[in-house]
Structure 1
């Protein structure tokens, strides 16, 4: 079964065990319906207004020059006829446009209907076995490659008892609840005719108290994982619970992207059971980010490898915040197995000393999270103006809001 994420952070050491994920397509169908209706109504009104206004202006213009001559009357009659022809064409175009909008609305409604109708399947042991996390050649494989064959029975309908072969379900979105080390797990995704994971795949995990413990979503292209997102939680080095949200692309055995952490101030509980779950109940990472209310606790921009921060480019950085989102630590440099580790001498950090209401600065070598102090490289107090000078010209994706003493 899945090996649950076990995040740890010791002296600012952060691990992302099993950066595992899978993703479902977000559907905001009600919003799309409203947008289509609004667009159709607005365009229809604008076209009608423009045509009518143009016609009135035209009549006034010609009437002003009218000198009671047969020639002018004929010109008006001809021009009115031309305008009527143009109006008829506009009306035809408008009808065609409305029909196009109707077709789009019908398509969206069908998507909603189909999503609601997705049946719940009971997974066979051979199906669940292929959802295990595995590691191959030091690269985390987020889903095992399915080992079943097209004629193998992999699921059944719990209501009718009908059994399904793999070929019956290929290229279809399937929703399968199952058990994972005592937790309730929900898989929502698909595989293709080659029996490879394909498109967006998503898993939610809930503990025995029905609390969300993990979201794993990923985008596959014929069995190859291209990108993923993940939610989990752990205790930071201050013994505070934090949510961890990772969003990354896979490039060989390196994962590039960002990791956000948030102070955990509440639990997400399931309002459904394995028997009542629907596709709309499955939570994506985007859904989670809309639900979360805790303040940001940290932000990491850099590579991960083997489930931990590993980046030897020297361009990675980590920002840690207090609950007021003031910077308590900012490190720029290389990472090794989740720790500050850079022997180039170019890495640096600032750390807030709350007791003395000041920041401490160090630039030089770091080994296993510790600055290597020498006679010429020592930690020292630093003013805000000096920090601003150090950061001048550098770009950070998240705020660097410092304590003002």
Structure 2
């Protein structure tokens, strides 16, 4: 068998392959180009939209944060409301307990021990003087009260509870309504009413804080040095050894009677100084503004003043100056007075020394027959300002 010779390809075969490659190139190239162009266009289109999409995302994030903040705020608000409700409930329980104590204790008919009686009388039983320190000489185990059955109650059991404690002091019926704190000190509002022979003799209404006397009010029947029956009402702020404030005298036409039984007294039977004043203190007889000490008007500042009135409300006397034991007493020469003895008389003005409640009878200190205009000019010149009403009337008007 003979060998077959490898014959070279003809030119026509080579040419056929070349034509085939050219054909593929012509077909594929436009397709690839188109794909590339489309890809570029698509990318360019998406790239153009990207900032818009980012803005939308940011807006969505902001909206989400806002919702979260709203939810958090609502949650915190709900927590605060719940806390407030709990506090109100706790306070409500405390109020209920206090009301329950106040309802129960009066029915126990508590009476103070001899030691507490003595301290109540000392602290609240004197006119124009209230115990400043507020200290009680007690221990937690001290017996402070007992009931009709002889059961004893200690300071530890009764601290911070409003107590109504009646007792007898000689001819007087004394009614204490107040409390002391855990350290055995007078605390809060402490009210004392004292009656003698069935009529009111003294009201003392004191306010303490942590055992310190802050202020007090008193009311009692009295008679002026001129013999006028009055009700005295004082409203004073406590200082170390004295008190400052105001005192009113109102014309008194009778007494205030004890209208309840000693053994059946309740908190509703207690009367404050303000309550009494609203009933009997309408027609003012006198007014004092200044310092009190040792149970009297004692003020050496020269700025204290007193006003006395006629029954119709007309000013009888206005004095501005120093006081000693309730009397006009001023040797400075700066004290002054405007006054008259009878409503039909004219006013006189005096400026000079006062001794034992009286001005010097020297004509050089006096100015007579003042008109209302002249009185107002004096008040303006001295810069005098009053807390009480001043009504002047010239006789001819």
TM-score by length of 1: 0.69
Equivalent-residue separation in structure 1 for 2:365 and 2:241 (angstroms): 35
Equivalent-residue separation in structure 2 for 1:213 and 1:289 (angstroms): 14
1:117 and 2:101 aligned = no
Q: Secondary structure at the match of 2:234?
A: strand
Q: Cα distance, 1:250 vs. partner?
A: 1.2
Q: Is the 8 A contact 2:138 2:155 kept in 1?
A: yes
Deviations, residues 112-150 of structure 1 (Å, cap 9, x unaligned): 554343323112211112223379xxx955277422332
Equivalent-residue separation in structure 2 for 1:141 and 1:213 (angstroms): 15
Deviations, residues 81-123 of structure 1 (Å, cap 9, x unaligned): xxxxxxxx9xx99x98x97999688876765554343323112
Equivalent-residue separation in structure 2 for 1:101 and 1:227 (angstroms): 31
- Please name the residue that 2:212 is paired with: 224
Quick one: structure 1 residues 197 and 355, their matched pair in 2 at CA, closer, same or farther if it must change by over 3 Å? closer
Q: Secondary structure at the match of 2:238?
A: strand
Equivalent-residue separation in structure 2 for 1:114 and 1:141 (angstroms): 28
Among 212, 230, 250, the alignment partner of 2:200 is: 212
Equivalent-residue separation in structure 1 for 2:322 and 2:147 (angstroms): 51
Among 387, 390, 395, the alignment partner of 1:400 is: 390
1:129 and 2:118 aligned = yes
1:203 and 2:183 aligned = no
- Please name the residue that 2:142 is paired with: 152
Equivalent-residue separation in structure 2 for 1:377 and 1:404 (angstroms): 21
Equivalent-residue separation in structure 2 for 1:205 and 1:375 (angstroms): 48
Q: Cα distance, 1:170 vs. partner?
A: 1.6
Q: Is the 8 A contact 2:310 2:343 kept in 1?
A: no
- Please name the residue that 2:237 is paired with: 249
Q: Structure 2: which 5+ residue stretches go unaligned?
A: 1-73
Quick one: structure 1 residues 169 and 106, their matched pair in 2 at CA, closer, same or farther if it must change by over 3 Å? closer
Equivalent-residue separation in structure 1 for 2:313 and 2:144 (angstroms): 48
> Where do 1:223-372 residues align within 5 Å?
223-354=211-342, 357-372=345-360
Q: Cα distance, 1:307 vs. partner?
A: 0.7
Q: Secondary structure at the match of 2:258?
A: coil
Q: Is the 8 A contact 1:265 1:294 kept in 2?
A: no
Quick one: structure 1 residues 102 and 176, their matched pair in 2 at CA, closer, same or farther if it must change by over 3 Å? same
- Please name the residue that 1:40 is paired with: none
Q: Structure 1: which 5+ residue stretches go unaligned?
A: 1-88
Q: Secondary structure at the match of 1:217?
A: strand
TM-score by length of 2: 0.70
Which deviates more from structure 2 when the two are superposed, residues 218-227 or residues 121-130? Answer: 218-227
CA RMSD of aligned residues (A): 3.2
Query: Which structure: greater helix fraction?
Result: 2
Equivalent-residue separation in structure 1 for 2:275 and 2:308 (angstroms): 24
Q: Is the 8 A contact 1:116 1:279 kept in 2?
A: no
Q: Cα distance, 1:365 vs. partner?
A: 1.0
Deviations, residues 258-314 of structure 1 (Å, cap 9, x unaligned): 001111134322232222111122111222222225401111111111111111111
Instruction: Mark the structure with the bigger radius of gyration.
Output: 2
Q: Is the 8 A contact 2:206 2:216 kept in 1?
A: yes
- Please name the residue that 1:177 is paired with: 166
Equivalent-residue separation in structure 2 for 1:152 and 1:368 (angstroms): 49
Q: Is the 8 A contact 2:371 2:394 kept in 1?
A: no
- Please name the residue that 2:64 is paired with: none
